[in-house]
Structure 1
Amino acid sequence: MKENNTIINRLRKSIIPIASSFITLFAVGACSSDFLDVIPDNVATIDNAFKLRNEAEKYLFTCYSYLPKDGSIYHNPGFLGGDEIWIPYKTSITSDVFEIARGSQRRANPYFNVWDGNYSGGGPGDNYRLFTGIRHCNIFLENVTDESKVPDLNAAERQRWIGEVEFLKAYYHFYLLRMYGPIPLMKTNIPIDAPENQINVKRQPVDECVSYIADLLDTATAKLPEDNALVPTTEAGRITKTIALSVKAKLLLMAASPLFNGNNDYATLVNKDGTPLFNATYDANKWKLAADAALAAIQSAEANGKSLYVFPQSPFTLSAGTMTQMSIRQAVCERWNSEIIWGNSNSQTSDIQKLAMPPLDPAHNHNDARKILSPPLKLARMFYSKNGVPINEDKTLDFSNDTKLRVATNAERFNIKEGFVTARINFDREPRFYADLSFDGGVWYKYDSPSKSDDGTVWGLKGKFGDPAGASHSFHMNVTGYFIKKLVDWNQITYTTGGSFYKGYAWPEIRLADLYLMYAEALNESEGPSATVYQYLDRIRTRAGLAGVVESWTNFSSNPSKPTTQTGLRDIIQRERLIELAFEGHRFWDLKRWKLATQNLNAPITGWNIKGTDQTSYYQEVTVSQQQFIGPRDYFWPIPESAMIQNPNLVQNLGW
């Protein structure tokens, strides 16, 4: 492995590249004196790096700097690597991650290669080299755990820093495990004079990887502060006990899922010495461990005052439905709100808002509201009806011809402009549909809405060819006819003279709603349907303006007994998760761990005919692209050929 051979020589006693391009990690939503709001100077040697607290803190910054920028479509494969968001190909932007969704992943110089970092992300920002990040973490831990070093660092702060870096080391291992499957475990840095058999490390079995990462998270948790102990104005974004517990829950949920738990498709993946890297025997107890971990994270979060976000009373007059939608939207966009478990300040969000936002007026600038992030029509169909059940199950509403045209009435004015003709699929939908998405004729309520109210003159989207949000721009166009409202802060202001202002927020890596859904899923798999499973699902549904699971299915579904069986409730939980966390980068990973990617990522990407100029020509379902996902190959990234050549002990993932 390149990292094992060359980084040692580079870092052991020579110049250490301490993130010269490191961004101000914790600047979002806080003052200029924030923790880590410093660009560190280069440090000549490792010895000098740990002589005093000030220099050691700069090395702590380096360990943080490898956190993936998950709020960027260029650097989060969950956005453009699957089927949740489509973009025009090589026009407005170029993204290497999008090549994965298009079926173009390759073994030589893979797209989004975080193994050794030799890839072009296709956008702004540094390449990820997560094994290098782990190496920096090991260097930090080796030195800061030595109490003879950094003598001006007090004991409490020393323990906290050690806990933070132990967490980061565990998280970088988790990130690699999720992408590549079994990985080498870099528990300590390999000495410069180590024999070749130690330098050429092997991949370790999945269960061993999970155990190591979980144990490291436990070790870190004991040293980390409670969320309530942080100073909000200066320490927002630093790792806490609740964050570590939540990542452990995410790790164990993944380990219990079909991709990692008894996956016979990978039974033949073995090391060169014959060691199996996947345990082909299903272990039901892994779901129990995942449930326990999720509950521990929830209890920690709630003890620290975390709760599902509810939009506060606005100075403007808003209907109850709009207030519900604002709670859904701002759970993501409101800075450091009560629901955010982990806000990643290493990832800014102004760019993704600009790429999601459409022009709502002819005077709005297409360069500042590019509208290119395009959910496929199947994502629009995924959301529930207004009765809280799938549209193909709702026995009281007919969605059999969901492309049929219909005129919006006064009663529907808070969601669709009154008198507008649009497709049947856009009517009678749940609040999350209108909170997350916009469409031709859809209302887009935000801070600068002309009437300062949702019952008057409000922004409405027009998406046909030649309209403000239509596909007539040479580069910036939406390719499906659906637009992402969820990721754009309601404070976004579009100036009619050109230009937009976007209020940035730290990317929400984990929300409390995610923990509730993890717990419900693991509990259903380990124990089956129960009042507790319904309780945690219904907490999320209540915030989303829906009745509870049992009530909704009993009253409105053609399959009323569905929530009473483990299989039926599994389907409900999975769909609930895909809806609640839509457009946050989770769907890609969830479809993989559930082993549902083969059926979902081979379906065509469809949308409206964006070249249509009137309602008849526009509302025709057309195929934008035909995806290809080859299983089991595409469930994991290929290990780069260069790494395979440099380390003869590595074995390649199946199919590559």
Structure 2
Amino acid sequence: MDYHEYVVKDKEQITATFEDVGGFMTDIYNHVDYDYGQYYSGAVLGSASDEAEYALQGNAIEDFYNGAWSATNAKETLWNDMYEGIAACNVYIDEFTGLTFDDLALNSDYEKQLYRYNNYEWEARFMRAYFYFVLARQYGGVPLVTHTQSYDITNALPRESSDSIFSFIISECDAIKDSIIADYSDLGAMDMGANETGRADRLAVLALKARAALYWASPLFNPDDDATRWYNAALYTKQLIDECTERGKRLADDYESLWATDNYSNANIMCEIIFGRRVYGSGSEGVSSTFESYNYPVGIEGGNGGNCPTQTLVDAYEFVSGDSAGLRPKDLADYDPDKPYYDDRDPRFYVTVAKNGDENWPSSNTTPLQTYYGGINAEPLTGGTPTGYYVKKLCHSAIDLSSNSSYEADNHTWVTFRLGEFYLNYAEAVFKYLGSPYATDGELTMSAADALDKTRLRAGLKSLSEVRPGMTNDEFWDVYKTERMVELAFEGHRFWDVRRWKEADEHFTSVDEMKLTLNSDSTISYERNTVSRTWDDKMYLFPIPQSEIQKNPNLTQNPGW
């Protein structure tokens, strides 16, 4: 008997059916990055920025700011993941395109399946471009591999410049934007009834192009401040926003709903999301509660404390009403740095940060949170919040981790691109290009201030013209950075934004905590505590893993490493 046991199929076996070719393409999506704590044993990159502090000491996230980061401790997970994804894309593009499946031509669904198959080439090229964006964001220039080739060739390639990589990403997006399916939710006669909302379409391509252009224009990659790059970033982002509008996309009414369990199927949420990564863990029926387990407060069954928002982040949320509207605590004339100012804050604060006294967080918890020292959710318990806060955003509070619960897991979708981000991206690019928060021109018809108002007004804040009229450029830049920190908190942006701005010496050398004490009269005392962190300018880019340099003598190391 010519019998073999195997699970890995070769090219001939894969190309025999639409299903196997589609499965190969779909598996490439599993390389898309996300940040639910999977890389650092629960810690997210926000805990290596000024967004958060990880509650459990000794976590690998501390290597980013305690001096232990090095080329031999290079945090290379994304290097490996992205190049594996790139290799799979190259295999698909080189070997699995141009098929006709003639043996299946008499099948009743042949035309529809072939229509879907013919789009996979463009998806593969989008994915490859996206993987290179992740690498460029992290390392700058990297080796550029666009075809399948032997290991000895790959391991002799030099690094391309960051300019070359960003140029490649943008040119790839231009090459595929008119060929890829425009909208997977509307395939007309070719609609097969399958849920394809997780696949990349034309808007995802335009979003990648616009975001890559913004990074390429930023000081880290644009040391000469080439104004053309800022212009292109603004123009590409405006084109994306305009096309989103034409397709009926808009900001979701409810900010908190963007991370709900049905954010991939609810039209009132999908209206803002351009592309998201399905994330399934080890829970029942393909769903997960891993992120909740990492981040629910200690003192709640199954909770480990996790990524605790800093007082630095809390201070970024504005007041909503009265004479203080539009101001942050530091903007007040009678500012007391030892008071957290919980009341009358930006509504996004209350759905992002869990604070002392909060009720029904998570939903199954019937006791108000006690984050003061000695409280049931606080230090000195292992995992007790060091900052005075816990994270709400991204957590699905209905998940009950208690041993007798029947609701222990849920669907999660990491939002890779959403319209809210691109209003902010446009505001930055047009401000940097035109040199004023209020300027417009014939092409860039929306000012930076008006673009910034989009996310503010959705959150329930007043417009900038009402609360901060006549801002100087420095004032606008400060307001812009704060709005971006608030709107995109815990979405994986802050760690990279501060780097591309080259402002880490301003933001990443310390974080503020708030220490709470319960007094004998049941009042709470607050004391701000500033924690220093190590920063070196070499950290703007990651070190090339020493293991890769040993394999490839033509790889050069990033400066300082």
State the TM bucket, normalised to the shorter chain: 0.7 to 0.9
Going from structure 1 to structure 2, the CA distance change for 1:613 and 1:578 (only over 3 Å counts) comes to: farther
Aligned pair partner of 2:48 in 74, 81, 85: 81
Instruction: Give the alignment partner of residue 626 of structure 1, picking from 525, 532, 536.
Output: 532
Q: Report the CA distance between 1:642 and its aligned residue.
A: 1.8
Residue type of the partner of 2:413?
A
Question: In the alignment, does 2:33 pair up with 1:71?
Answer: no
Mapped pair 1:167 → 2:126:
yes
Tell me, yes or no, if structure 1 residue 188 matches structure 2 residue 147: yes
Q: Secondary structure of 2:276's match?
A: strand
Question: What is aligned with 1:580?
Answer: 487
Structure 1 distance, partners of 2:121, 2:83, is 18
2:256 aligned with 1:329: yes
Question: What's 2:159 paired with?
Answer: 203
Amino acid at match of 2:292: Q
Which whole-Å CA distance do the structure 2 matches of 1:112 and 1:378 have between them? 29
Q: Is 1:285 paired with 2:237?
A: no
Residue 429 (str. 1) matches residue 345 (str. 2): yes
Match of 1:603 in 2: 510
Question: 1:85: Cα distance to partner?
Answer: 1.7
Superposed CA RMSD: 3.0
Task: Say if 2:371 and 2:388, in contact at 8 Å, map to a contact too.
Answer: yes
Q: Where does residue 256 of structure 1 map in the other structure?
A: 217
CA contact (8 A) 1:70 1:509 kept: no
Q: Which residue in 2 is equivalent to 1:62?
A: 27
Deviation at 1:461, TM superposition (A): 2.3
Distance in 2 (alpha carbons) for counterparts of 1:184 and 1:49: 29
Structure 1 pair 189–610 and aligned structure 2 pair: CA distance change class (3 A): farther
TM-score under structure 2 normalisation? 0.84
Cα separation, 2, equivalents of 1:512 and 1:214: 19
Asked if the contact 2:352/2:393 (under 8 Å) is kept, the reply is: yes
Greater displacement, 176-185 / 340-349: 340-349
Greater shift, 639-648 or 146-155, is seen at 146-155
Counterpart-to-counterpart distance in 1, 2:279 and 2:404: 32
Name the CA distance, whole Å, in 1 between partners of 2:407 and 2:536.
41
Q: 1:77: Cα distance to partner? A: 5.5
Contact kept in structure 1, 2:279 and 2:412, CA below 8 Å:
no
In structure 2, relative to structure 1, the CA distance for the partners of 1:546 and 1:159 (3 Å cut) is: same
Determine if the alignment matches structure 1 residue 548 to structure 2 residue 515.
no
Deviation by residue 1:457-515 (Cα, 9 ceiling, x = unmatched): xx632222343322353x33211111212222354457696786453321112221101
Normalising by the residue count of structure 1, what TM-score does the alignment of the two structures yield? 0.72
Per-residue deviation at 1:402?
Answer: 3.9
Q: Say whether the 8 Å CA contact 1:113–1:640 is kept in structure 2.
A: no
Tell me what 2:66 maps to: 102
The 1:464–1:529 alpha-carbon spacing in structure 2 relative to 1, beyond 3 Å, is closer
Unaligned runs of 5+ in 1: 1-14, 16-40, 118-128, 263-280, 311-326, 360-364, 404-422, 451-458, 555-560
For 2:284, the equivalent position in structure 1 comes to: none
Q: Which amino acid aligns with 1:143?
A: E
Shift of 1:611: 9.6
**Cα distance in 2 between the residues matched to 1:290 and 1:344:** 24
The alignment status of 1:341 with 2:274, answered yes or no, reads: yes
Question: What count of residue pairs does the alignment treat as equivalent?
Answer: 519
The one of 28, 41, 45 aligned to 2:10 = 45
Counterpart of 2:107 in structure 1 is none
Structure 1 residue 215 corresponds to structure 2 residue 215: no
Letter in 2 for 1:285: T
Query: Does 2:544 correspond to 1:636?
Result: no
Matched, 1:476 2:383: yes
Gap change, CA 1:53 and 1:571, over 3 Å in 2:
same
Match of residue 371, structure 1, among 305, 309, 313: 305
Matched, 1:143 2:108: no
- SS of residue paired to 2:555: coil
Give, in angstroms, the shift of residue 545 of structure 1.
Answer: 1.0
Name the residue aligned to 1:645.
Answer: 550
Provide the C-alpha distance between the structure 1 equivalents of 2:520 and 2:194, rounded to a whole number of angstroms: 50
Counterpart pick for 2:203 among 226, 231, 242:
242
CA contact (8 A) 1:444 1:460 kept: yes
Question: How far has the Cα of 1:134 moved from its partner?
Answer: 0.6
Identity among equivalent pairs (%): 26
